[in-house]
Amino acid sequence: MAGETDPSSFSSLQKCITKHLNLKWHVDFNSHVIKGSVALTIESLEQKLSSLVLDTKDLTIHRVITNGQEAKFSLGAKHAFKGSALDITLPFEMERGQQAVVEIFYEACPEASALQWLNPEQTAGKQHPYLFSQCQAIHCRSMIPCQDTPSVKSTYYAQVSAPKELVALMSAQRDGEELDPQDKSRKIFRFRQTVPMPSYLIAVVVGALEWRQIGPRSRVWS
């Protein structure tokens, strides 16, 4: 249950629970970083909730907004494998059962433990770079500030901006794509996951991918 303690997590499991994530990512192959924002819909598990803690690892946090209001935040000292606690002070108090949206603007580092960046020469086609993630067991915190524990399960929606000659996929249903209005050399790929899942099952891949149909409702990407 979400109220239990996880020795591998800094997050406020007994104070609040994440119900949904809304991700907006820009995949930068030149600098080997993912940057953008995540909006977490949290639900208070206690009366007068005024702060919360999330898991991070090697993330640069630029700004935190809660229900449209600026929120104060600080990063704790770095732990060998748990990363750093992101302590957020809410600009208001929440009652038990009340929900709020905490939006965090951030940037991952090139050495993010969840992400593997391949140069074109490391791929079969030798033409394009490739990115894939592996969040299990506690690496999601290196690409998303979150409650990085299997005891918390949430749905998510994602918008991923990537070079238009590549394809982005996630552990979710595809929800359309379009040219990035900010940069016509890029596409925005959208994804929707309606089944609540733990953070370690969030996955992303970007590359020169193709698919083949292998059944009436199955296809393989590679």
Instruction: Return the structure tokens found at 118.
Output: 């391949």
Instruction: Give me the pLDDT at residue 24, please.
Output: 98
Predicted local distance difference test score (pLDDT) of residue 5: 81
User: Could you identify the residue written with the tokens 């070079």?
Assistant: 163
Length of the chain: 222
Closest among 79, 215, 94 to 141, alpha carbons compared? 79
Whole-model pTM: value is: 0.95
- Residue linked to tokens 């409702």: 217
Structure tokens at 106: 């951030």
Q: Is the peptide bond between 137 and the residue preceding it cis, with omega within 30 degrees of 0? A: yes
Contact at 8 Å (CB) between 43 and 70? no
Distance CA 213, CA 75 (A): 46
Q: What local confidence, expressed as pLDDT, does residue 4 receive?
A: 59
Q: Which residues of the chain have pLDDT under 50?
A: 1-3
Indicate the SS3 state at residue 75.
Answer: strand
User: What is each CA distance from 35 to 10, 13, 61, 106, 142, in whole angstroms?
Assistant: 22, 26, 10, 6, 12
Could you tell me which of 194, 196, 182, 189 has the C-alpha nearest to residue 221? Answer: 189
Nearest 5°: the CA angle 140, 39, 8 is 30
Render pLDDT for 64-103 as a digit per residue (tens, 0 to 9).
999 999 999 999 999 999 999 999 999 999 999 999 999 9
